[in-house]
Homo-oligomer: A and B are copies of this chain.
Amino acid sequence: MTVSTNRNMRAGAPSQEEIRRQNLGALLRFVHERGQISRAELTSELGLNRSTIGALTADLTEAGLVTEEAPRETGRAGRPSLVVRAMSESIYAYAVSVEVDQIRVARIGLGGVLLDQRSIPRPRGSIAGTIDPITTFIKQMAGEGRCVGAGIAVCGMVRREDGMVHLSPYLGGAVDEPIADSLRERLPELLPQVAVANVADLCALAEHTRGVAAGCDNFIYMYGDVGVGAGIVAGGHRVTGHGGYGGEVGHMVVNPVGRPCGCGSKGCWETEIGEHTLLKLAQSTDIGAQAVLAVVDRASRGDHIAQAAVRQVGDWLGFGVANLVNIFNPELVIFGGTLRDVYLASAAQVRSKLNSIALAATREHVRLRTPALGSDGALIGAAELAFQQLLNDPLA
């Protein structure tokens, strides 16, 4: 169904079955995140005995999830440790990214390997016909082995309870779409499970797992397209909020005397730093990510109008980020989507605002970065979401 995961039943009384599950999960998660890892490393990282690691890997091997093979070069004295590798070709998930101007579908193997990928442009304003191309792509890419399900990243609000997607008004009116359920009904035998989440959240998850935010437990991923959203990780946990609508920072009001926003309020952050505003300020007649890139490019070439536009947007970007930094005290802020280029072109403004608004204690330890996974973050995060269930209970 939806996200699920959290086995946090507040009672938390582990019994013997669960200890096995958790250890298998921890081991498989290591293999998944590092692609391949030696048994010797596993013993030290997991803090378990050699014999236990042996038994666990044997179980996972029997289940067809991992393989063991002799290492290429040892380098050190002593018996070389077997390398445990994820069965990336036969254990896989589908990753779907429903973005503003395109739909992407990928098949991603355990370990985070991109096996196959397709995409199709997405006409703005049209909401119908989202499921069809996804279904087609998935059928086309069907491979050998075992599919654990699909993860979907959407540029809209996702209700945690049932995975209902509330698409942004920009995309042709406010529409509630049960994308996950629809997809599962279409391909019941192919997809044992379909999970949905917000793009920003999944980009954050991806960067957390295998990007710039690796090992970082307090960070914010700012994602911009037409609107603005944030994937927030605090204390190592995704901030989803009660209904699943956490991180909707785009409608934080930053300018009480600002322009009206599509949400009914006015002066929302989104109206100050969104694609629409930047393009309008830069007197661009085009729209979309390419248009944003063009404006940034014009600015870098000395176009004064574009420069002024970028500076103004950068000021508001820094303003909002400074507020978020005060609230969350993160270690890292990542600028993704179109905000990546906007940030790169206006880093001075952003830093300046941060210095004048954020408290010294919170500002001094913040790193501002761009994504390590580029635009693949959403897909990798979606796959990560689909793999969660397997990683929590490998032998289910």
- Contact residues of A with B, CB < 8 Å? 6, 8, 10-16, 19, 22-23, 26-27, 30, 45-48, 157, 159, 166, 215, 217-218, 230, 232, 234-249, 251-256, 263-265, 319, 322-324, 326-331, 356-359, 361-362, 365
A268 to chain B, nearest CB (A): 9
- CB pair A253–B328 under 8 Å, yes or no, is no
Q: Is the CB of A45 within 8 A of B11?
A: yes
Cβ of A357: which chain B residues have Cβ within 8 Å of it? 251, 253, 265
**Other-chain residue from B13, B237, B251 in contact with A359 (beta carbon distance below 8 A):** B251
Q: Which residue among A13, A14, A330 has the maximum number of chain B CB atoms within 10 Å of its CB?
A: A13
Known: A15-B47, A19-B19, A235-B240. 17 other contacts (CB 8 A): A12-B22, A14-B19, A15-B19, A16-B19, A157-B359, A159-B361, A234-B234, A234-B246, A235-B239, A239-B239, A242-B329, A245-B359, A245-B361, A247-B327, A251-B326, A251-B358, A256-B319
Could you tell me the distance in whole angstroms from the C-beta of A30 to the nearest C-beta in chain B?
Answer: 8
Q: Are B237 and A362 in contact (CB under 8 A)?
A: no
Known contacts A237-B235, A241-B329, A242-B329; is A265 also within 8 Å of B356 by CB? yes
Name the contact of A242 in the complex, choosing from B48, B157, B330 (C-beta under 8 A).
B330
**Shortest Cβ distance from residue A238 to the other chain B in the assembled complex, whole angstroms:** 7
How near does chain B come to A332, taking the closest CB pair, in angstroms? 8
The 10 closest A-B pairs by CB, nearest first: A241-B329, A13-B46, A242-B331, A245-B329, A218-B242, A246-B329, A234-B239, A252-B323, A265-B357, A245-B362
Query: A11 touches which one: B16, B47, B247, B323 (CB < 8 A)?
Result: B47
8 contacts between A and B (CB under 8 A): A11-B46, A13-B47, A217-B242, A232-B327, A241-B362, A242-B331, A246-B328, A254-B256
Q: A176: shortest Cβ distance to chain B, in Å?
A: 10
Contact A248 B47 (CB under 8 A): no
Residues of chain B within 8 A (CB-CB) of A247 are 327
Which one, B19, B236, B255, B362, contacts A243 given CB within 8 A?
B362
